[in-house]
Structure 1
Amino acid sequence: MRLKSLVAGAVASLAMTAVHADELSFANYMAPTHPYVGGAFEPFANLVAEKTGNALTIRLYNGGELGAGPDAQYDRVVEGVADLAVSLPGYTASTFPLTLLTELPGVIDEATGTEKIWKNIQLFEPEYQRVKLISLWSSAANLLYTKKPVRTPADLAGLNIRVPSRNAGLLVEAWGGSPVSMPVSEIYTALQTGVIDGAMIDGTATTAFKLGEVADYLTVGIESTISPFSIVMNRDEFNALSAEQQAALEAAGKEASALGSKTQLTVAAGGIKAFADLPGKEVIKLTEYEARAFHELNAPVVAKIISDVGGNAQAVVDALAK
């Protein structure tokens, strides 16, 4: 009996290993209905299967099934809880200072940002030594969703504004507001209950995170940050794959970057329109003259961030500007 049990256990173990090698887990903290799922993550999984003849597949775990908290996704990949995960480098800012240069005002724009990132991808890869960088893209520009109208920096005085990264927080501080670091999943309740007075986030938030229900004003026209997103993979799992499977993942990841950016820009534009169509809401569109007051405050902040990062930071910014 003991011998049979050992044999059965060994067979089960081998079966589990085979399944693990063929099927990769993808941790996604966003809801299954989030536009990224159908627009980028499912196509990414399909591309991997197609490019490997179904020898390698990806299973999506949406809605934080492998662990809640957008800010913890990178660590889950490092620790092997998930093989792959979508993450925002801004949540672990100290690990990705060069990547986060892409979010600074004036460095890239939302229309061409992802293309420029991939033209210079070798500049960012050294920051991903603990994981394998699979995909990296820029999102739509961040806007201000607020309970009170914001037309000038003076309007932000005394307001607590959720920010997506440390760099974004420095901008809000320069504008006169008080930055609050908070995962995207907490914004709705915090804005509804008055813990924060507004949030810096792109236009997808109107519907994707239902901020159209709790914010009264949406200010657009400020040159603010553009948050990068990434898909990262456990490095040991990546190294265990065949060369062909690795190449398929890399190719699919690059395609997923373009899909992620396209999805974000489309939904963000729709989110701004959807907010304007809601009763009792107002989209405040700043003129170039009105926005200048914010932009003049941006310049010294951007210069200081680049200086503080040091190293080849200026070279990265210059390369992205070409």
Structure 2
Amino acid sequence: MKNFARSTTLGLALLAVSAQAEELRLSHQWSTADVRHEVAQIVADEVAAADVDLEIKIFPSKSLFKPREQYRPLSRGQLDMTVFPLSYAGGQQPSFNLTLMPGLVKNHNHAARLSQSPFMEALEEKMAEDDVMVLVHGYLAGGFVGKDKCITNPSDVEGLQTRAAGKSFEQMLVGAGASITSMASSEIYSAMQTGVLDAANTSSSSFVSYRIFEQVACYTPASDIALWFLYQPLLMNKSKFESLSDEQQAALLAAAEKAEAYYLEQAKLQDAKSVEVFSAAGVEIAEMTAEDFQDWQTLAQETSYATFVAEVPGGQQLLDLALAVE
């Protein structure tokens, strides 16, 4: 009887220990239907399946922190993980503004090579200064819409009232002769409808989710050549990762590898889906040529790139590292 009592007590103690699995908090701004949430969920599910006493609790839809206010608590250890557009933290680390720079990324395969390049290593060194590390690399692409005409070349935006995603894109479009009206992507529809905007630039997924195909004549999507790419990785507090056991770290890294492959696949599919949706709505689909891309990049070098180099210490070296990736 005593042995039974002793074994029961030991069993309960072991259950109590296993029930106290370490919990990581992951925050992001998107809905649970978004690909970025799916990426986070893959990591959480894979870690749970690894059975290493580690649980990831996801807080979607900006329910824990406001979209642009996640990097600082992450760096301070007040948040464990986040899926985050790195350019949002450009105020803390100006070099991060290169992750939303026109003409720096040509297509998704090029984006994947950038993620494994000395350029990304240099950015990761900057993140490490803030006690932040990358678990999952990922870029999403976007394109242009025109209310009355197609936008493929810088000459197409001259004189147009345009919305751009990001300061560097605004600088480039002003250089092309466009006027800028800043607004959230959720406001593009009504601005097109009321004549406030002639053209706009945002992500493929936003073009579809905000039904912008109902207000435009032409869509220039991200395809083999695209101008707009935004780096949106899954980040983790570096000290928190290093505090985990070897088994827990291995489970996180294995989960991240699976999630990263899914992220790349889905990013390509989102672009293709947007073309289907716009085509079905009767919108003309335009293609940006290699010559168009070169014209945009030349303009970016004179505007956005020049401003970045002038404002960011070591900016030229970082830009050169990015441009060196074929």
The two structures have a TM-score, normalised by structure 2, of 0.75
1:321 matched to 2:325? The reply is yes
Given that 1:134 and 1:254 are in contact with CA atoms closer than 8 Å, whether structure 2 keeps it comes out as no
Given that 1:107 and 1:321 are in contact with CA atoms closer than 8 Å, whether structure 2 keeps it comes out as no
Indicate the residue corresponding to 1:48 in structure 2: 47
How many angstroms apart in 1 are the aligned matches of 2:41 and 2:54?
14
Q: How big is each residue's C-alpha offset from its partner over 1:11-53, in whole Å with a ceiling of 9 and x where there is no partner?
A: xxxx9xx86x622222121111123333x222121222234x2
Pick the aligned partner of 2:231 from 228, 231, 235: 228
User: Cα RMSD over matched residues?
Assistant: 3.4
How many angstroms apart in 1 are the aligned matches of 2:74 and 2:214?
34
The amino acid that maps onto 1:162 is R
Given that 1:161 and 1:177 are in contact with CA atoms closer than 8 Å, whether structure 2 keeps it comes out as yes
Where do 5+ consecutive residues of structure 2 fail to align? 1-15
Indicate the residue corresponding to 2:83 in structure 1: 86
**Structure 1 residues 286 and 98 mapped into 2: Cα distance closer, same or farther (>3 Å)?**
same
Where do 5+ consecutive residues of structure 1 fail to align? 1-14
1:142 matched to 2:147? The reply is no
Given that 2:101 and 2:229 are in contact with CA atoms closer than 8 Å, whether structure 1 keeps it comes out as yes
Given that 2:102 and 2:169 are in contact with CA atoms closer than 8 Å, whether structure 1 keeps it comes out as no
**Structure 1 residues 54 and 91 mapped into 2: Cα distance closer, same or farther (>3 Å)?**
same
Helix, strand or coil: the match of 1:204?
helix
Indicate the residue corresponding to 2:124 in structure 1: 125
Q: Give the superposition deviation at 1:277.
A: 1.4
**Structure 1 residues 31 and 209 mapped into 2: Cα distance closer, same or farther (>3 Å)?**
farther
How many angstroms apart in 1 are the aligned matches of 2:316 and 2:252?
29
How many angstroms apart in 1 are the aligned matches of 2:190 and 2:22?
40
Matched-pair identity in %: 24
* Number of matched pairs: 301
Greater Cα shift, 308-317 or 106-115:
308-317
Greater Cα shift, 227-236 or 242-251:
242-251
How many angstroms apart in 2 are the aligned matches of 1:189 and 1:23?
42
**Structure 1 residues 87 and 140 mapped into 2: Cα distance closer, same or farther (>3 Å)?**
closer
Indicate the residue corresponding to 2:306 in structure 1: 304
How many angstroms apart in 2 are the aligned matches of 1:48 and 1:54?
7
Q: Give the superposition deviation at 1:269.
A: 1.6
1:167 matched to 2:168? The reply is yes
Helix, strand or coil: the match of 1:263?
helix
Helix, strand or coil: the match of 1:30?
coil
How many angstroms apart in 1 are the aligned matches of 2:72 and 2:35?
24
The two structures have a TM-score, normalised by structure 1, of 0.76
Greater Cα shift, 217-226 or 114-123:
217-226
Q: Give the superposition deviation at 1:70.
A: 2.8
Indicate the residue corresponding to 2:3 in structure 1: none
- For the pair shown, the structure with the greater C-alpha radius of gyration is 2
Indicate the residue corresponding to 1:115 in structure 2: 113
